[in-house]
Structure 1
Amino acid sequence: MGCYPTNVKIMMTLDETDRRILTHLQRDASMAFDGLGQAVNLSRNACWRRIKALEAAGVISKRVAVLDPQSVGLGLMVFIMIRTNAHAPDWLEQFRNATRTIPEVLGVYRMSGDLDYLIRARVADMGDYDRLYQRLIHRVPLSDVSASFVMEEIKDTTELPL
């Protein structure tokens, strides 16, 4: 493994036990190795070794706590749809830098079709969204920006189907 550059992920074939471990960790990353091992029929040490291998291969990229947005004052989710006439590499770098440094921005996606970019953000309220919008348009020129506000979250998960 030492001969690979650090930015290259090593491809790993997942077996059924790896998939069960990952399913459990996606639901509760704080699960103790003893309990996780018991759930997937492995010893604590074998479970630990598999998790370390999954981390080394980049399958597990990080472990986080998922917060309730309402509890931290960020009850409004907004999808910001952007169309632009600028497609030069320097504009894209400016856009990337702007969106990566705005904490309310949770996800930014370059899209196919009529829409160029989609931003997913969390804000407290409409006034907070306006402040986010103002920061964004001051940092990067945009030709068309529209927003849709989530009225009800029917399903929102980080769990990948394995």
Structure 2
Amino acid sequence: MLDDSDRRLLRHLQADPGQPVTQLSEAAGLPLATTYKRLERLQAQGILKGQRATIHWPALGYAVEVSLRITLDKTEPRAFDEFLAAARAVPEVTEIQTFLGRVDVRLAVIARTMSHYQDIYRDRILTLPHIADIEALMQVATIKNQQTLPL
């Protein structure tokens, strides 16, 4: 699976995904050619899925984040598929998760203000198909948002 060199590379990559490969190889204590080969292998194995930008929504004026826990009316066979397709089309929905249990789906929704959120909720969320129950949780603070693994 992973050896110590792979783990070192991944630790340094998690800490600073935007660093140049030359800096990454130096930090991991590996030759540049070896670093390239290992990164290619980790991508080929599906361990590295790519790099992405993490956007700090409040810096762009999105000060409100709400988590919606939704239970669907599952009497319709296509309820999940139709709901998910419609939810994907809402631009302010930044994350969709499905669950087994009492709650079927969780949506993360961002808005600029509470008034903006109310418009999104009324005009876009409540019009989504097959909603049987919905619970809104207003985010007050993010205490931990760790996207890294202890390697």
Scaled to the shorter chain, the TM-score interval is: 0.7 to 0.9
The superposition leaves residues 94-136 of structure 1 with CA deviations (integer Å, 9 ceiling, x where unpaired) of 1221222223222222223322221222222222222332313
Which residue, out of 122, 129, 144, partners 2:117?
129
CA contact (8 A) 2:93 2:108 kept: yes
Partner in structure 2 of residue 140 of structure 1: 129
CA contact (8 A) 1:79 1:118 kept: yes
- Aligned mates of 1:155, 1:69 — CA distance in 2: 16
Cα displacement (A) at 1:157 = 2.7
**One-letter amino acid of the structure 2 residue matched with residue 43 of structure 1:** P
Partner in structure 2 of residue 149 of structure 1: 138
Cα displacement (A) at 1:144 = 0.8
Cα displacement (A) at 1:60 = 1.5
Residues 72 and 138 (structure 1 numbering): CA distance in 2 closer, same or farther, change over 3 Å?
same
Could you list the structure 1 runs, at least 4 aligned residues long, displaced by more than 3 angstroms after superposition: none
What TM-score do you get using the length of structure 1 for normalisation? 0.81
What TM-score do you get using the length of structure 2 for normalisation? 0.87
- Structure 2 unaligned segments of length 5 or more: list them: none
Partner in structure 1 of residue 26 of structure 2: 38
RMSD: 1.9
> How many equivalent residue pairs?
150
- Structure 1 unaligned segments of length 5 or more: list them: 1-12
The answer to which of 145-154 and 78-87 deviates more is 78-87
